């Protein structure tokens, strides 16, 4: 799967911001028809999005549209408009406020009919369910497995905090009175575990204080440390930080590749066919190699190159 370290949110009603997004080095752009677009502007925004997708000028970014949730009057027309108008240029639909697997299946069925009717490649358009309420979190496994189109599980912290009535107005920061703990840990971990259990990407949502880059970096570093694949960005200033924070550090990447090479060498017949070996001061074994594989894959997907190399010891079979 292509990386989604940085996922840029762009209001679908704003052609200028869409034009700017096309040139930004983000892994995904999602054009919003939901909360960033006023109800009276939704119909016009569909047309703006279709035109922007068809106009070209895009880089390598994944192109996604966030439709309105199934409790509104708009979802079906959002999906039909963008897929009929620009389905071949669309990588996925972001489905907000998902409550259960049925909502994902409903979108899957609609997409399947649209693909058939418009000779689009069957099953190519993905689904990114957004977890934004208590019921969605409780039903996360059925949501994750409701359709083979599901590619990610996306956290929606603002709606989620409102849904559980958490006493905070600052998304991504701890609610006052809960400073010693991390109020987000359970939610982030539940999303991450479901994503890993079902082979999906786990994506953290927005940090709304866009002038506070340190705050963004802190929030992003927390979910990156847990193992999340990426985070939404709302402003160009957050882009480089997200790409950096959700890629391994150079030294970490070098070390991971070195562990893999050292392990491959020492477990081979030429290297002594051993299971647990020393690399410098560290004992490495099959589990260390698995951890290194994760970091190495992230680094390769981010286009990193090595700055060090493993040299087999001269008397390896001793």
User: Which residues are at the interface with ligand GLV (CB under 6 A)?
Assistant: 132, 156-159, 205-206
Beta pairing partners, 34: none
Interface with Mg ion includes 32 (CB under 5 A)?
Answer: no
Interface with Mg ion includes 156 (CB under 5 A)?
Answer: yes
Nearer to ligand GLV by C-beta: 139 or 288? 139
Distance CA 250, CA 202 (A): 23
Distance CA 247, CA 300 (A): 9
Nearer to Mg ion by C-beta: 206 or 299? 206
Task: Residue 302: name its binding partner from ligand GLV, Mg ion, none (Cβ under 5 to 8 Å by kind).
Answer: none
Nearer to Mg ion by C-beta: 128 or 159? 159
Contact status, residue 63 vs residue 89, Cβ threshold 8 Å: yes
Contact status, residue 104 vs residue 153, Cβ threshold 8 Å: no
Nearer to ligand GLV by C-beta: 132 or 258? 132
Interface with Mg ion includes 128 (CB under 5 A)?
Answer: no
Nearer to Mg ion by C-beta: 28 or 132? 132
Contact status, residue 237 vs residue 213, Cβ threshold 8 Å: yes
Q: Give the Cβ contact number of residue 236 at 10 Å.
A: 15
Q: Which stretch binds Mg ion (CB under 5 A): 17-25, 129-137, 145-153, 217-225?
A: 129-137
Element (H, E) at 9: strand 6-11
Find the binding residues for Mg ion in span 244-263 (CB under 5 A): none
Residue 57: DSSP 8-state: -
Contact status, residue 120 vs residue 114, Cβ threshold 8 Å: yes
Q: Which stretch binds Mg ion (CB under 5 A): 11-19, 47-55, 149-157, 274-282?
A: 149-157
Q: Tell the smallest beta-carbon distance from residue 45 to ligand GLV (Å).
A: 16
Residues at the site binding Mg ion, with contacts judged by CB under 5 A = 132, 156, 159
């Amino acid at each position: 799967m292509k990386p989604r370290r940085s996922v840029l949110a762009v209001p679908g009603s704003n052609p200028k911001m869409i034009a700017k997004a096309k040139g930004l080095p983000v892994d995904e752009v999602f054009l919003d028809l939901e909360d960033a677009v006023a109800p009276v502007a939704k119909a016009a925004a569909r047309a703006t999005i279709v035109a922007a997708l068809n106009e070209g000028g895009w880089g390598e970014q994944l192109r996604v549209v966030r439709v309105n949730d199934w409790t509104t009057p708009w979802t079906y027309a959002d999906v039909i408009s963008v897929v009929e108008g620009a389905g071949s240029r669309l990588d996925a639909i972001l489905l907000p406020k998902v409550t259960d697997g049925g909502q994902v299946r409903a979108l899957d069925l609609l997409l399947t009919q649209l693909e058939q009717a418009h000779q689009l490649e069957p099953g190519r358009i993905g689904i990114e369910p957004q977890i934004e309420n208590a019921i969605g979190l409780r039903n996360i496994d059925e949501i994750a497995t409701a359709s083979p189109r599901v590619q990610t599980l996306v956290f929606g912290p603002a709606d989620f905090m409102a849904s559980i009535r958490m006493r905070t107005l600052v998304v991504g920061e701890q609610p006052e009175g809960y400073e010693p703990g991390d109020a987000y840990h359970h939610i982030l971990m539940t999303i991450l575990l479901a994503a890993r259990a079902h082979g999906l990407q786990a994506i953290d949502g927005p940090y709304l204080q866009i002038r506070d880059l340190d705050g963004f970096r802190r929030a992003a570093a927390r979910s990156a440390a847990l193992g999340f694949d990426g985070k939404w960005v709302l402003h160009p200033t957050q882009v480089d930080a997200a790409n950096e924070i959700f890629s391994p550090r150079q030294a970490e990447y070098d070390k991971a590749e070195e562990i893999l090479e050292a392990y491959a060498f020492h477990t081979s017949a030429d290297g002594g066919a051993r299971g647990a070996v020393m690399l410098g001061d560290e004992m490495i074994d099959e589990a260390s190699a698995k951890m290194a594989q994760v970091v190495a894959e992230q680094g390769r997907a981010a286009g990193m190159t090595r700055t060090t190399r493993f040299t087999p010891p001269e008397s390896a079979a001793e």
